[in-house]
Amino acid sequence: MTVSSRGDAEALDRADPLAPFVDRFARPDADLVYLDGNSLGRLPHATRTRLRDAVDHEWGDDLVRAWSRWIELPRTVGDRLGELLGARDGEVLVCDSTTVNLYKLAAAALAAQPDRPDVLVPEHEFPTDRYVLEGLVAQAPERSVRHGPPDTVDERTALVVASAVDYRTAELADVAALTARAHDAGALILWDLSHAAGSVPVDLRAANVDLAVGCTYKHLNAGPGAPAFLYVRDDLQAALRQPIWGWFGQTEQFTMGPRYEPAPGIDRFLTGTPNVLGLLAVDEGVAVVAEAGVAAIAEKGRALTSLLIDLAQQWLAPLGFTVASPLDPTRRGAHVALAHPEARAISLALVGEADTVGDFRPPDLLRLGPAPLSSRFVDVWDGIERVRDLVERGAHAAYVDAPSRIV
Ligand SMILES: *Cc1c(COP(=O)(O)O)cnc(C)c1O
């Protein structure tokens, strides 16, 4: 349907089968238009209750005795999250940060491919991915990072690293085809699922993916700094050794033996004591996504971003914006990038003047992510209307030189 009034957007909300999920999330400020759920998802009410209970009763009452349960969490929460990603039990852990997991898995993959000198990563890949790989090859003089798209993999490539959903434009990669291509060239492939997990379908087994990592604080709504996940296909686990030899990755951890011997299976990719409260928040975030279903979430994501793009083309194109995301909804994830020369100032002014949160990505992108589970169609309507009104009245001019630590 074409949406030509706020009432039309309200009608879309009434017809939305996922609309009841919006109320599962904290929304204390009715005026706030939050279009940054792809960066930090909203707080699920269930998570607040779960963490409060865990603090009061598990930590408060049970103390160290609770470790007999907590110690299983990286595995059990990993298995639940793995179901969303098409992984089998024993292939996913929730632990550490995405950056650390990327380091562990990329180092293990390079060690397993000693005769191939290159790591292939797209030039515009998320910075932490590029930096971690540069850091790894800095320790290995015979190796180098080659910047290029994953389909340029060749016989010199040890490992390909790429994102399933581009963090700037939300463009979807063809995970299955590019994985097959890497395998044909004899390379391993590691997918970063940070913007994909909980927003678009991922089927790691069907695509025969080797390795993957990703965040839980974006579309999995697990909260700031919540532990990340890693996936290692089960038949690869025994052959891979990660570089952080911590006691949680040790076989027979509590014998406290003299030498490190990696645990069989996925546990060898653990490092040290896990973040228990963070793991409980991941468990709740995963539960709400699983209940709604990733296919339904992705469908709503396409509808929300299509509305956003429609409105941007009508209202914002005359103000100098262009759509930098794929126009084909089947080619994009759950956010949209709008290019504008003043995108940084506009992003800051939206927060400062219009109670509207998106974010800025250099050099010129205003990134707007109406997270499907916690956003309404009217949020998109209101948000784009506010962008239009703000830029029309030139309110961003005052923000051109505004300092900000995070943009
Ligand atoms: C958000 C994001 C990260 C973040 O990594 P952290 O270790 O959690 O800081 C990594 N990779 C991609 C592609 C991301 O979008």
Ligand 1 pocket mutation, candidates 96, 129, 215, 230, criterion most atoms within 8 A of CB? 215
**Is the beta carbon of 225 within 6 A of some atom in ligand 1?**
no
Q: Tell me how far apart the alpha carbons of residues 311 and 314 are, in angstroms, rounded to a whole number.
A: 5
**Helix axes 73-84 and 276-292, enclosed angle (nearest 10):** 20
Residue 52 has pLDDT above 90, yes or no: yes
Task: Supply the pLDDT for residue 403.
Answer: 87
Task: Determine the distance separating the centroid of ligand 1 and the alpha carbon of 406, expressed in angstroms.
Answer: 14
Contact 84, 111 (CB under 8 A): no
Note the pLDDT tens digit of each residue in 374-404: 999 999 999 999 999 999 999 999 999 988 8
CA 38 to chain CA centroid, nearest Å = 7
Mean pLDDT of 207-217: 98
Say if strands 229-232 and 211-214 run parallel, antiparallel, or are unpaired: antiparallel
Structure tokens at 236: 């690869």
Residue whose Cα lies nearest atom 5 of ligand 1: it is 98
Residues 6+ apart with CB under 8 A from 78: 92, 93, 94, 95, 229, 266
Q: Given pLDDT bands bounded at 50, 70 and 90, which one contains residue 340? A: very high
**Is the beta carbon of 195 within 6 A of some atom in ligand 1?**
yes
Residue 254 has pLDDT above 90, yes or no: no
Note the pLDDT tens digit of each residue in 292-312: 999 999 999 999 999 999 999
Per residue, the 3-state secondary structure of 100-149, as one string, reads HHHHHHHHHHHHHCCCCCEEEECCCCCHHHHHHHHHHHHCCCCCEEEECC
Note the pLDDT tens digit of each residue in 356-377: 999 999 999 999 999 999 999 9
**Is the beta carbon of 126 within 6 A of some atom in ligand 1?**
yes
Average confidence score pLDDT of the chain: 97
**Cis before residue 28, ω within 30 degrees of 0?**
no
Task: Supply the pLDDT for residue 1.
Answer: 66
Window from 134-148, 251-265, 387-401 with minimum mean pLDDT: 251-265
Q: Which residues are catalytic?
A: 126, 192, 217-218, 367
**Is the beta carbon of 101 within 6 A of some atom in ligand 1?**
no
Mean pLDDT of 157-166: 98
Task: Determine the distance separating the centroid of ligand 1 and the alpha carbon of 215, expressed in angstroms.
Answer: 6
Task: Determine the distance separating the centroid of ligand 1 and the alpha carbon of 192, expressed in angstroms.
Answer: 8
Q: With pLDDT > 90 as the criterion, what percentage of the chain qualifies?
A: 96
Task: Determine the distance separating the centroid of ligand 1 and the alpha carbon of 163, expressed in angstroms.
Answer: 10
Ligand 1 atom, smallest distance to 125 CA: 13
Residue 405 has pLDDT above 80, yes or no: no
